[in-house]
Amino acid sequence: MPVAPATTPGTASRAASIRADLGASLVVFLVAVPLSLGISLAAGAPLSAGIISAVVGGIVVGLLGGAPLQVSGPTAGLTVIVAGLVQTYGWRVTCFVTVGAGLLQILLGLARVARATLALSPAIVHGVVAGIGVVIALAQLHVVLGGAPQRSAWENLRELPTQVDNLRAPAVAVGVITVVLLLGWPVVGRLPGRCAALRKVPAPLIAVSLATLVAGALNLDVARVDLSSMAFVTPVVPPGSVWTAIAVGMVSVALVSGMESLLSAAAADRLHNGPRANLDRELIGQGVGNVVSGAIGGYPVTGVAIRSVTNVRAGAVGRASAVLHGVWVMLFVGLLGTCVERIPLAVLAALVMVVGVQMVSLAHIRHVHRHREFPAYAATVTGVILAGVLQGVLLGVVVAVLTALYRLSRSTVRVYEGEGVLHVEVHGSLTFLSVPRLSRVLGKLPPGAHVVVDMTVDYLDQAAFEAVHSWRTGYIARGGQVDIEEIHDGCYERAAGGTPGPRRSRLTPSPRWFAPWWHWQRECPREDGTASQALVAGAREFQQRTAPLVQPFLERLALEGQKPAQLFITCADSRIVPNLITASGPGDLFTVRNVGNLVPRGEAEEADPITADASVGAAIEYAVAVLGVRSITVCGHSGCGAMSALLDKAGKAGNAGRADQAPDAASGPGTTPHLDRWLRNGDASLARFMAAPAPTLTGHQVPPAEQLCLTNVVQQLDNLRDHAVVAQAVAEGRLRLFGLYFDLASAQMYLYDAVRGDFGPVDAERAESGVVATTGAEDHTFPALNAG
């Protein structure tokens, strides 16, 4: 979905903002008038009620609400509830319900529970909307055919054949014209040439206007809008005998209206880059709007997704657009009410019928099906159609909970043979519900075999543990061999060892894909816990758990080839994981790792054969000239053994006791000739460190070895510019250089700022000012900025 330009009053002139809001308000006003009338008609409310709701929603909620770009008014989502209230208690009692619902929304907003309503499953929310859409479409189809809707969706469906036999041709004619225009107008707007300009004209306005003109020109005998009785209506208090039903109605209106308003506000937020919605304030604003609307005879007020999206796409930048739209509705009906009274009711019914059909979104159905939540969606739709909104929501919640419980208790068991060993793969959650199937599979294994049970489970209850443990004990007693391989939290080993809860410590975080081998070997000790066995176990874990998930992505990378955006040069230290500290993945980084994250000078390969190393230069040339990377990053880190070795060589600091010390500092000269020769590429960093103050680390006092680590990053950035391919790309603005420093103990990343000459926390501002030696470079996102 396209994102609107990030234009706010703070970045544009006041006059430009007013012009933008004025234009957007006119577009929304043209959409709001026909929809407000049609929704009132569909609910059996006075037509004036929809107009009052649109005015109050625009002016009152527009001023007080917490979503500046949201437009409020009557919505089709409440049609079923309002229609039921009107048919049972009359309009004035319905207005009393609206006032009560508004007070409830104010209390909920003051209690700051707005975001809690968004916890409801999207499948249930979409199901409510779709169910209401079906009910609306069935009811309004009767009006389009020249009749009147029945009390329920089932009765509307049952009476439809009779209505078809008694249809009224004039009503059908204008209804068909309206439907054709509503569905065809977007197609006209997509045609090339001058037709593209018609896209800005709202389809409801075109459909209602042209259908009304046709009805007037042909003098068709159809029922039309009647605003002669338009006046403010005061609510009445219902008798005590129906207060329970009235309270249920208040809760229904408050929850459905509030939920729809908050979801609409969240949807509008995704369309622009301006201020985000304050949902608690928005709920309070909606409540005030409902109190005012109900007190003067208006339809319940709700944040309307259609109008809000139209508002954003029309260029609105502030709440003035919503307020002005309410003013235009009030002036239009007050001054040009006779034009409104020429609209046939069948036209409004056709408009709302199309809206109802569109509420059953195929995109939503595909979405919930993709997330395996279709049962909850279908149950909610069925409940809303057959019983009502609250009943549909409750049915959907019950089905969603049962589905979740089923998934939590579901496990898969697969048996296969490989290299003379029987493998039993178990995935999912092992509970008492899984015991019968698991016991049946284990009981069919041939006796005396070597069985490996690969358990990838996130939960193991007592019944499942005892089933597996008793089978294992009995199988071994009968001459078999059983190995339990767990590729998760070690549930079985903990249960067997009497440790029920997961073992977590500050120094050993799980999961296994992240923790080092020695950690999870200690959690689940093996008889052959060697490094080679750990490597094999890790490869097997990848094959079983990760490979199926990443295979489609890796297959696409294999077909398309690599297109990395960054060259990442860092140390070979085993504690540094580039993809982890930059929140990147396969295909993002072209990585070069060596001892000390050193970059030999470009001319060094020719001038000094002793320190010559063509591998780094070749990688740089390939990344810049062939792959076309847009940035190069040099990343140093704390506790670098190479830097400690350089300091020891210079006699500046003694680090004889360092566990991560470089071999030449620990073993003496001559024992590591290749390492000694390689570290000469760091002599420039050492000379720079001894000649000038080292870059600072914001907010920290660091020892000399770490100061050299910081200096080394800056020096390697200078060395990069000695490579002709880098210098040319930087000069042409095609390449940017970054310096990073990773502090292991705090797990914090710091970015070099060339202007300030220091390393500081990673943020967008520092990323801009911290660019090293670039000229007019295009802005590109660096993954590390998302990892801080």
* DSSP secondary structure of 293-342: HHHTTPPPPEE-HHHHHHHHHTT--STHHHHHHHHHHHHHHHHSHHHHTT
pLDDT-derived band at 506 (thresholds 50, 70, 90) equals very low
What is the per-residue pLDDT for 428?
Answer: 80
pLDDT > 60? residue 396: yes
Q: What is the mean pLDDT of residues 185-203?
A: 71
pLDDT > 60? residue 662: no
Among 118-132, 277-291, 466-480, name the one with the lowest average pLDDT.
Answer: 118-132
**Residue 544 per-residue DSSP state:** I
What is the per-residue pLDDT for 654?
Answer: 43
Express each pLDDT in 220-256 by its tens digit.
888 888 777 667 888 998 887 788 899 999 999 998 8
pLDDT-derived band at 781 (thresholds 50, 70, 90) equals very low
Express each pLDDT in 670-697 by its tens digit.
578 888 889 999 999 999 998 888 888 8
What is the per-residue pLDDT for 535?
Answer: 73
What is the per-residue pLDDT for 492?
Answer: 67
What is the per-residue pLDDT for 487?
Answer: 60
Q: What percent of the chain has pLDDT over 90?
A: 29
- Determine the Cα–Cα distance for residues 696 and 687; give it in Å rounded to an integer: 17
421-433: burial string, b at 16+ Cβ within 10 Å, e else: ebbbbbbbbbbeb
What is the per-residue pLDDT for 515?
Answer: 52
Among 186-195, 425-434, 461-470, 475-484, name the one with the lowest average pLDDT.
Answer: 186-195
Express each pLDDT in 535-567 by its tens digit.
776 777 777 667 777 888 888 888 888 989 899
Q: What is the mean pLDDT of residues 292-318?
A: 87
What is the per-residue pLDDT for 327?
Answer: 94
Q: Is 671 helix (H, G, I), strand (E, B) or coil?
A: coil
Q: Sheet harboring 631-637: ordered strands across?
A: 589-594, 566-571, 631-637, 736-743, 748-753, 758-761, 696-697
Q: What is the mean pLDDT of residues 156-182?
A: 88
* pTM of this structure: 0.56
Q: What is the mean pLDDT of residues 648-657?
A: 56
Among 1-5, 36-40, 100-104, 619-623, name the one with the lowest average pLDDT.
Answer: 1-5
Q: What is the mean pLDDT of the chain?
A: 81
